[in-house]
Chain A
């Protein structure tokens, strides 16, 4: 039997598979037993009530999608009284994902979750910082560090920083999150993108811009996961275009401790369960006793190999 467990800071997860925030909801419990997941990351919520962006909110692209949902939110009371109890029916740790307009807002919301029953809090820092010209927190190393520090000061719960991929040097942001006290990184949120309908000449999502997600984005996020894992000593959770066991293994080889799946669950709701089965089979076939051995196990080309290739 392969040991599928992985450690994310102080938490041990039964396996390295979890949903990306905003891509699993109560409806998934109609399809498979959510107890099989390593963790359940819930959709980002804010303390205030929000409706989210105007529809249309989705456009199909090649092997990927453009979504512009915004952060519709029913607020903290709903989260504590409805969302958490629903997922507590399953034998799976719950990770909350939160967002706020200010650093103080992130701290205050984190404090409210301390005794909620969640095991960790993911900080969705891809949202605009209203006190800094609306630039996303995650695009600025200083703001990133401040948000994580504010959350760590407000709660004893582990804090995971979900990075924005819309930056020049992801390693700088990764280190800022680690300096702020993050217990893990989630790399990454959706890449900012846009598409236009050439018949109507209108944007394909009403919000003009949205996030591109799905398999087509995987190589770019793979590079970022590698760069993050090189830059920090805290665990990195890979997230971007994971659709099957091969993708999860690839992320782990690049340095990820665990992975999150998003868009593929819309296409194939059982994909996470199938991933787990296939990951187990892979480890058995390869004689890998612990799945955690895959993390960072990529083998670089050696100088000798490169010399043989006639590296000039």
Chain B
């Protein structure tokens, strides 16, 4: 392992380099349902300095034939500074995440980070509404924690195919968020129902910040809603990555730019470096 890598007992947060190859010890790595696992690790101070919306680039053990040469980007599901732990909630879907799933208690995870630009809550935010589907909420949970700590009310709308696939519900509730559940089974997770729900929530207690992650449909819904009511909002995006440090320019996506004279253009930006959290109005879907 690298000489610069940090183990939990070494290095303080006062270290001058904010990003490290953190060597984290696995506490647990268990299934939470048929598709997702919750990975909990003991993490060094540099890693625990992470902010909501930032992510780590995880070295994944080989999976059979596949060596998993590149790291895999993973959002932080929970930053538990009291226990000195980080939580990741991940879907086992390909060779990288299958490799990740082989890690057991006491094993070491090499987590590069924290990297990226997280969420920025506007000063004085009173009511945050977040909508996420599936693992999208993994990324939004730390924002709920931060917003509640900043004195805002948080309404978290969780969407899933069926109630058994819901995740992060307990974590969000214990962080002080009001949780609203919508599912395809019940038939209240479609765009029309969600839009009506947003309007009701907004009428009840004005929303001043919206956030989402992981679904184009939900992002478009929030774009329209936030434009109509002039509400600030952000979205956490995903793109295939090489380095996660802004160096390789692999992770670009198109974004709207507004020049000083008001002219609008579309240009590529790096999801890992300029994001992964972007303002809703600049996001091209």
Contacts and interface: CB of A to CB of B under 8 A. Distances in A.
- Interface SS of chain B: helix, strand, loop or mixed? loop
Contacts of A64: 69
A27 B247 contact: yes
A107 B2 CA distance: 42
Q: Determine which residue in A26, A58, A266 has the highest number of CB atoms from chain B within 10 A of its CB, and name it.
A: A266
A57 interface: yes
A30 B273 CA distance: 12
B239 A55 contact: yes
A60 B239 contact: no
A62 B252 contact: no
B251 interface: yes
Nearest to A69: B249
A67 B242 contact: yes
Contact of A55 (B4, B21, B68, B240): B240
A31 interface: yes
Nearest to B112: A269
Given A52-B268, A56-B240, A267 B71 contact: yes
A62 B247 contact: no
Contacts of B243: 23, 27, 265-266, 269
Contacts of A24: 247
Nearest to A277: B3
Contacts, number: 114
B21 A268 contact: yes
Interface string A233-270: 00000000000000000000000000000000111111
A266 B70 contact: yes
Contacts of B59: 267
A69 B3 contact: no
Contact of A269 (B3, B240, B245, B268): B245
A51 B268 contact: yes
B21 A270 contact: yes
A264 to B, nearest CB: 10
Nearest to A23: B247
Contacts of B253: 55
B249 A270 contact: no
Nearest to B70: A60
- Secondary structure at the A interface, as helix, strand, loop or mixed, is loop
A214 B250 contact: no
Contacts of B112: 269
Contacts of A55: 239-240, 250-253, 268
Contact of B3 (A28, A61, A67, A273): A273
A63 interface: yes
Contact of A67 (B5, B66, B250, B252): B250
A61 B273 contact: no
Interface stretch (B12-20, B139-147, B179-187): B12-20
A21 B273 CA distance: 18
B218 interface: no
A63 B67 contact: yes
Contact of A62 (B67, B115, B239, B246): B67
A61 B268 contact: no
Contact of B245 (A30, A61, A67): A30
B4 A27 contact: no
Interface in A88-139: none
Interface string B225-263: 000000000000001111101111111110000000000
B178 to A, nearest CB: 37
Contacts of A56: 239-240, 250
A51 B267 contact: yes
A65 interface: yes
A52 B3 contact: no
Given A51-B267, A65-B242, A58 B250 contact: yes
Given A60-B69, A270-B3, A274-B3, 19 more contacts: A27-B19, A27-B245, A27-B247, A30-B19, A31-B4, A31-B17, A43-B249, A52-B252, A55-B250, A55-B252, A56-B239, A62-B66, A72-B252, A265-B243, A266-B248, A268-B21, A269-B21, A269-B112, A274-B4
10 nearest CB pairs, A to B: A27-B245, A270-B4, A58-B250, A266-B243, A27-B246, A25-B247, A30-B19, A270-B2, A57-B250, A58-B242
